[in-house]
Amino acid sequence: MTSVQYLRGVAALLVVVYHAVYKHGQISGISSSWSFGQSGVDLFFIISGFIMSYTTDRRAVGGVAFFKARMARILPLYWSLSIAAFLVFLVSPRLINRSGGTTTILHSFTLFPVGDKLLIQNGWTLSFEFWFYIIFAAALAMGTSHRIPKASAILLVLFVIGYVFTPTRPALEVATNPLLLEFFMGMIAFLYFKNIRQKVVVNVILLFTGLVSLVYVGTHGIVENQLVSYGVPFMLVVCGLVGMESLMNRLPTMFLTRILRAIGDSSYSLYLIHPFVISVVAIVVVKARLAVLDPFTTLILVVSSCVVGYICYLFIECKLNALFRARRHGPASPDGTHALPQ
């Protein structure tokens, strides 16, 4: 889906810019941040809920087969980059974990939440993704026809448990985290796409309302909490855009749309590899004393990340996908519209 690929590109860019701005502040000695960029993760979770619903619609998909397909799609690239990070960690731990604290090697590969840092810090979002995959697989195991209501019910029950008991163990915190409701929002967006999207005026209103809300949050800060400030507006944006999928497909091809589509296609590689790219490029900027480029440092970090992310996508991610797809004798997800996640 064209609209979903654009959204994935936006989500990835938000996260990359967030980290680039922070790194720019570190090397310039002037504290700077762009907290709104964190919302890219919220958008990724919503997209994931949408895509898992979309790719299993009108298909006889078993829970075990679904989960195996998701593991084959997510883990090879993540493990490959984690191995590379581990080799660097053996030589210079500080290059991987500059903020201190314990880095867990074992759980960097299992993604089981223990509260320690991972070799790829962004991997914490994959812990949420895999927990959602387990929930969705359980719903599929009970029958594909009502997979969305069943998965939604499980997510809502877990949310209530977390709200009532407020668990402190990392694994239970993830299992009952309010952010899981963003996957629920993605499933709601799919139901909207499937049943209501014909109303163009409704799509425009949803898109406009979501964008205005995000602009407000971006300029005034989080209003209530992350779920309300980022999750709800992005759900409206997703509903509005996927509802206009046919229109998106008729848009003329422009340089900007080609770039955004390319970023969307490579968003998983970009998401995982950009922290390393930003760190390396920042070191080069400092060592080369490129102070004259300071106003453009953030842009350099972002563009470098996107370029390396796309190269990683073409020569590593796609190769791994083809290898594991051949072993399973079928595509990981139709239409190529896998989520991030994730």
Q: pLDDT tens, 206-247?
A: 999 999 999 999 888 777 788 899 999 999 999 999 988 877
**Three-state secondary-structure class, residue 252:** coil
**Three-state secondary-structure class, residue 117:** strand
**pLDDT, greater one: 327 or 108:** 108
104 CB-near residues (< 8 Å, 6+ apart):
114, 116, 117, 118
Q: Model confidence over 286-308: pLDDT tens digits?
A: 887 765 567 788 899 999 999 99
Residue 337 — pLDDT band, cuts 50, 70, 90? Answer: very low
175 CB-near residues (< 8 Å, 6+ apart):
131, 158, 162, 167
Q: Which two tokens stand for residue 328?
A: 């399973």
Q: Model confidence over 114-166: pLDDT tens digits?
A: 888 899 988 999 999 999 999 999 999 887 778 999 999 999 999 999 999 98
Read off the pTM. 0.89
The residue ranges of every structural domain in the chain are 2-329
Angle between helices 39-55 and 124-141 (to 10 degrees): 20
Q: Which two tokens stand for residue 254?
A: 């422009």
pLDDT at 113 over 80: yes
